[in-house]
Amino acid sequence: MEYNEREAGMGEYLYYRPPDLQELLRVKSRLGRQGILLAGGTNVMVYVKDGTISAGTLVDIASLPELKGVRQQNGCIEIGAGEVMADLLENPLLQSRLPVFVSMLRCFANPLVRNRATLGGNLADASPIGDSIPVLLTLGARMRVAGDGGERTVSLEQFFSGPGENTLQPEELIRAVEVPLPESGRGSFQKLGLRKGSSCSVVSVAVWLVAEGGKVREIAIACGGVAPTPLRARRAEKAFRGQPLEPERVRALAEEVQPDIRPISDVRGSAEYRRRVTAALLARAVRQAAGLEEGERP
């Protein structure tokens, strides 16, 4: 199928709907960053409206089957980048194998956004407050990145290069996300938003905890909204390992997250407020993952 840049005009924009992944990759190779991928449009159309994106070709990928699907293979769950958040929320495989991911989806934005937003779009947007990112970081997720010359795998932790910036080359796109299935442990996702968690995060924290004998055997901690990019809190992880899962001890250890984070002040909260909230959410996430309530002992 021949690509015609004048096929459909939209003011300063052009519009194109490729019939399959092969054609999409060919077009993306030709257009580079001027080929603006349009799936759910929850971010892209905002950028078009506010002028952040001022020209280019909107490449509609919403219906491409090669970017869809949720399947288990080789010890991982593979999620197509074009999957819509609302559909992932109802997916039985995710509900049974990755309940912490489903827990995150329940407080992802709001129902209107969940019905349009895609996983790949949320990741590619590289927002410091992207809701899906902390959970996937704790699970060691990887990106399947496709270009006209083939595919490569990128660790999610290495994917973000700055606020709104990622390591995709101009001709590349996210085809799928691979999430290794943990052999043991439990996860928790905690978020503070301005409207009971249904809006943009002020701070979010995810934890994957493996406990043994009432102590932390292994832990992964990731935070959003407290640095230029979402991050793994490595110092806090080290502090928690081997420690008893007692509520007061957990609360004290949660303060060890402070050296990991670099929050700023903005309209949603001050840097100091974000610091306090991060420690509180981390303590809550660890208690929840450990099956503890305030005042209980393991």
Q: What is the pLDDT of residues 184-201, one digit of tens each?
A: 999 999 999 865 544 678
Domain ranges of the chain: 9-60, 65-180, 186-290
Q: What's the pLDDT band for 5 if we cut at 50, 70, 90? A: very low
Contact (CB, 8 A) for 254 and 282: yes
Residue 118: both structure tokens together: 């895609």
CATH code, residues 186-290: 3.30.390.50
Residue range 9-60 forms a domain whose CATH class is: alpha beta
CB neighbourhood size of 227 (10 A): 18
Residue 185: both structure tokens together: 């442990």
Q: What is the pLDDT of residues 223-264, one digit of tens each?
A: 999 999 999 999 999 999 999 999 999 999 999 999 999 999
Q: Which residues pair with 231 in a beta bridge?
A: 223
Percent of the chain with pLDDT over 90: 81
State the DSSP string of 194-230. Answer: TTTTSSSEEEEEEEEEEEETTEEEEEEEEEESSSSS-
Q: What architecture does CATH give domain 65-180? A: 2-Layer Sandwich (3.30)
Buried b (16+ CB within 10 A) or exposed e, 57-82: bbbbbbebebbbebeeeeebbbbbbb
